Structures are given as C-alpha cells and as structure tokens.
C-alpha cells in the first residue's frame, strides 16, 4: 500500500512543480515582451496616450475615434501598451482595412511625457 501512495504523491509533486515552472517561464517572458497577459503582475505598466486618425485627408474628432476603437482618444491604458496598439492594429487590419486610415499614437509609459510614437500603416 505504501508504493501506490508514494506514486500518487510523486505525481502530485511533479504536477505542482510543472505548473510553477510554467508560471516562472511566463513571468520571465513578460519581462522581455510587451504582452503581459499571462504573468502574475500584468498591470505593472501604465500608458498615457493620444490617438490621432486621418481618413481621406480629414482628421477624426475624439468622439469618432472613440466609436472607431471603443477606447478614448486621449487616456490611460492600465495594461501594457501592446494592448492598446494591438487593439488599433486589429481594427485597421479587419473592419477598417478599406478606410486606409493614417493613425498616430503618441504615448508615454508610467507617467513619462508622450515622447514615443506608433503609426499605422507601419
């Protein structure tokens, strides 16, 4: 009876160590990548931003930008900047692909000035 109990305990320990190893790997991954959805502290980067969009030479106003992306034209992203930029890029690749929009996002991370620039199309 002791052998079956030892096998069961060994299996549980192996499973627990495997899950911890996966979590550790994802945390290390998150330190070197903008996508932080799978680590323990995904909200460690706050991004303040402004979005500007021009379609057919006409700039969109803040309300039109919010309707387009379902996010404010000026605001804060409490997840990683990749979340905001990915949201915009996904919209432009799918629903907005025929609009040929020119998108400029000025952003700063963790309270810094809006010194970084991201543009679509890339």
Cis ω for the linkage preceding 121 (within 30 of 0): yes
Pick the range with the lowest mean pLDDT from 10-24, 51-65, 87-101. 10-24
Per-residue pLDDT of 36-51, as tens digits, reads 555 555 566 788 999 9
Buried-state track 73-96, b at ≥16 Cβ within 10 A, e below 16: beeebebbbbbbbeebbebbeeeb
Q: Is the pTM of this model over 0.75?
A: no
| Model confidence band, residue 83 (pLDDT cutoffs 50, 70, 90) | confident
116's enclosing H/E stretch is strand 116-120
Contact by Cβ (8 Å): 69, 83? no
Q: Sign of torsion, CA 36 42 44 48?
A: positive
84's enclosing H/E stretch is helix 81-93
On the question of pLDDT at 87 being above 80, the answer is yes
CA distance 54 to 60: 6
49's enclosing H/E stretch is strand 47-55
SS3 content of the chain, % helix, strand, coil (to 5): 40, 25, 35
């Amino acid at each position: 009876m002791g052998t079956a109990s030892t096998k069961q305990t060994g299996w549980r320990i192996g499973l627990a160590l495997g899950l911890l190893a996966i979590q550790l790997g994802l945390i290390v991954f998150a330190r070197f990548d903008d996508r932080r959805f799978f680590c323990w502290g995904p909200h460690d980067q706050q991004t303040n931003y402004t979005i500007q969009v021009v379609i057919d030479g006409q700039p969109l106003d803040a309300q039109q930008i919010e309707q387009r992306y379902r996010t404010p034209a000026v605001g804060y992203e409490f997840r990683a900047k990749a979340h905001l930029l990915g949201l915009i890029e996904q919209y432009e690749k799918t629903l907005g692909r025929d609009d040929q929009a020119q998108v400029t996002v000025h952003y700063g991370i963790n309270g810094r000035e809006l010194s970084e620039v991201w543009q679509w199309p890339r």
